[in-house]
Amino acid sequence: MKALRVHGYGPEDAIRLDELPQPEPGPGQVRVRVQACGISFVDLLVARGGYQVRPTPPFVPGSEFAGVVDAIGAATDMPLRVGDRVCGTRQGAWAEWICLDARAVLALPATADTTEAAVLAAPFGTALYALRERGGLQPGEALLVLGAAGSVGHAAVQLGRVLGARVIAAASTAAKRQAARDAGAHELVDSASPDWKDSVKALAGPAGVDVVFDPVGGDATDPAFRCLGWNGRHLMVGFAGGHIAALKSNLPLVKGAALVGVDYRQAGEREPERVAAIRRDVMAWYGQGRIRPLLGCVLPLQRFAEGAARVHDRNAVGRVVFSFDAS
């Protein structure tokens, strides 16, 4: 089978398209013929050795996929059959086949688009875990979403709307703000403006923001935290801005606010039943048309360098998906 493999941490030219043996499912596993897989900022961070999880090279990166079950291992008690369309999250997704625990895949609705499904579970699962489970977002509350046109931020805008919040979306370009508007944001803020914090405060009113969804970090974290009102919750989801911010410890005290860490990967290991419920809700809402990933372009695996460049392009809007049917 064809697969992209990391042969050494460092520049992305260490990622090469290789021919590998087709894997066989073990007990409790299924094998999925991958039809589409996503490429994200975190995937590239793992490939460079810059993530907290560091697989030993050579390894196949990638964490999101959709495809068809084509083999089932022994002692698999999940109600899956050969031919079922599924999606899932697991390292090793940038390959034509992947084997994984049968409990880790989700059956797709009949109407699901394969390329959309490939980038559904991870960002929407992360956003729902953050907003509902970690942030306790309630109907009527004010939600500020940073990086609102990125994959996780775009999911948070949609889910904030589903959960009944008033969504203020911050993004750095007109195209990104339009994408956030299309996703359901009630208010838009230009995060490239030097006074964006004042714009948020004016929109939120005297009570301030109830929840901040922050996948950006860097220079955005401090001003966003200052937008919180009493009992506010700042959800720290990631650091796409490039560096980890330092927050003054007096801010949570004087605001009665909380800085809350969000690690969906660890939640899946420590709280599998809770995460399983999140995944079911995501799939149900997708099947009902209430949420939908934003696609930017679909490329064949051979055009990896082009896909990686688009992920790094801060002006690009929408997810990059590798398709084994693309040419």
- Whether 93 and 157 share a structural domain: no
Nearby residues of 108 by Cβ (< 8 Å), 6 or more positions away:
66, 85, 86, 87, 114, 117, 283
The parent domain of residue 55 ranges over 2-120+293-323
Q: Cα–Cα distance between 97 and 307 in angstroms, integer?
A: 20
Q: Per the domain annotation, does 258 fall within a domain? A: yes
User: How many distinct structural domains can be found in the chain?
Assistant: 2
User: Is 282 a member of any domain?
Assistant: no
- Report residue 101: phi and psi, to 5°: -55, 135
Are both 99 and 172 inside the same structural domain? no
Instruction: Assess if residue 29 is contained within a domain.
Output: yes
**pLDDT, one tens digit for every residue, the chain (327 residues):** 999 999 999 888 889 999 999 999 999 999 999 999 999 988 999 999 988 889 999 999 999 999 999 999 998 888 889 999 999 999 999 999 999 999 889 999 888 999 999 999 999 999 999 999 999 999 999 999 999 999 999 999 999 999 999 999 999 999 999 999 999 999 999 999 999 999 999 999 999 999 999 999 999 999 999 999 999 999 999 988 778 888 899 999 999 999 999 999 999 999 999 999 999 999 999 999 999 999 999 999 999 999 999 998 888 899 999 998 754
Token pair recorded at residue 99: 């084997």
- State which amino acid sits at residue 18: D
**104 and 196 both lie in a single domain:** no
Q: For residue 280, give both structure tokens.
A: 């079911």
Cα–Cα dist 292/182, whole Å: 11
What is the predicted pLDDT for the residue at 75? 81
- DSSP label at residue 303: G
In a domain, 273, yes or no: no
Predicted TM-score (pTM) of the model is: 0.94
Residue 245: predicted pLDDT: 83
Q: Which residues have CB under 8 Å from 175's CB, separation 6+? A: 149, 315, 317
Quote the tokens at residue 52. 């907290």
* 153 and 99 together in one domain: no
At 138, phi and psi to the nearest 5? -115, 155
Whether the Cβ atoms of residue 117 and residue 147 lie closer than 8 Å to each other: no
Same domain, 156 and 234: yes
Is residue 255 within 8 A of residue 230, CB to CB? The reply is yes
pLDDT recorded at residue 326: 59
Specify whether the CB–CB gap between 89 and 38 falls below 8 A. Answer: no
d(Cα 174, Cα 100) in Å, to the nearest integer? 41
Q: What is the CATH number of the domain that holds 136?
A: 3.40.50.720
- The reply to whether 269 falls in a domain is no
Q: 139 and 253 share a domain?
A: yes
pLDDT of residue 190: 97
Question: Could you tell me which residues come within 8 angstroms of residue 318 by beta carbon, excluding any fewer than 6 positions away?
Answer: 179, 294, 295, 296, 297
* pLDDT value for 242: 73
For residue 31, give the CATH number of its domain: 3.90.180.10
